[in-house]
Amino acid sequence: MRRDLEDLVQVCEGTMKQTNHLRAVLQDVNRSQIPLHWRKYKVPSNIALPQWVADFAARVRQLEQLASPNPPATVWLGGLLAPEAYITATRQAVAQSNQWSLEELVLRLELAPDDQVRKDTFLLSGLRLEGAAWTDGCIETSVNMATRLPTVRLCWVRRVGGRAAAAPQGADADAGLVFPIYLNASRADLLFSAQIPVRDLTEQSAALRAIALVASPLK
């Protein structure tokens, strides 16, 4: 991407001749389209180039922070280049740390207003809840189309004898419903599903309201 942009600047300054490759890139830029060879990670197909550049810059800033000597405890899940791999890595880390089988682990989400890292949990930012609200640790109906969530704690809980050994915030192990978490607002790519406590919701009503979480507002 940087090489293409540097070459385009030289073409505009008259110090470099146009090539078929640069001509195609320039055509995409003029149309506010993302050149196909720039698409190295999943984004909605109809996203405009300025929006993509801003999103890409935010991803690079997070990568720089995560690679620093003192990385932040909270991760913007939607800003990772491979968020599915991160979820898999957290599961493997918890299983290895506790000498548990991967099949024994159940994924749950809870709000983390104190932003405190706890054992076998990971902090996520940038999640948005669509079709409902998350109040007092439970998902419930709301007139709002979407709600930006504060820091969310991803918890891997061990299943014992068909039941989870513990639940977030002291909730009953079997309480709640399983909700999908999508990569972005287009809902084209499912990252994972997690159990979350609910209030006055059933599987049918949750499905009718199309309640889901998204890791990025792009659509």
Task: Give the CATH number of the domain where residue 25 resides.
Answer: 1.20.1270.280
Cα separation, 162 vs 158, whole angstroms: 10
Q: What is the pLDDT of residue 169?
A: 41
pLDDT of 16-26, one tens digit each?
999 999 999 99
CATH number of the structural domain spanning residue 157: 3.10.490.20
- 56 and 153 inside one domain: no
- 120 and 12 inside one domain: no
Please state the rounded mean pLDDT for residues 172-190.
82
CA atoms within 13 A on the CB side of 119: 7
Model confidence pTM above 0.85: no
Q: What is the pLDDT of residue 145?
A: 87
- Let me know if 16 is exposed, middle or buried by CB neighbors in 10 A (0-12, 13-18, 19+): middle
* SS3 state of residue 52: helix
Cα separation, 44 vs 39, whole angstroms: 10
- 96 and 55 inside one domain: no
Q: Give domain status of residue 117, yes or no.
A: yes
Whose CA is closest to 124, among 103, 152, 82, 95? 152
Per-residue pLDDT band at 166 (split at 50, 70, 90): very low
Residue 49 DSSP one-character state: H
Tokens of 185: 């607002």
- 49 and 78 inside one domain: no
Q: What domain range includes position 58?
A: 2-66
- 110 and 179 inside one domain: yes
Per-residue pLDDT band at 159 (split at 50, 70, 90): confident
Residue 93: pLDDT over 80? yes
- 56 and 124 inside one domain: no
* SS3 state of residue 214: strand
Q: Give domain status of residue 172, yes or no.
A: yes
Per-residue pLDDT band at 175 (split at 50, 70, 90): low
pLDDT of 65-86, one tens digit each?
999 999 999 999 999 999 999 9
- For the chain, the domain total comes to 2
Which residue among 47, 66, 85 closes a domain?
A: 66
Q: What is the pLDDT of residue 116?
A: 77
Distance of CA 122 to the CA centre of its chain: 13
Per-residue pLDDT band at 126 (split at 50, 70, 90): very high
Tokens of 107: 């994924």
What percentage of the chain carries pLDDT values higher than 70? Answer: 93
The mean pLDDT of the chain is: 88
N- to C-terminal Cα separation, the chain:
22
Q: Give domain status of residue 186, yes or no.
A: yes
Which amino acid is located at 112 in the chain?
A
* SS3 state of residue 209: coil
Mean pLDDT lowest for which of 93-97, 117-121, 201-205? Answer: 117-121
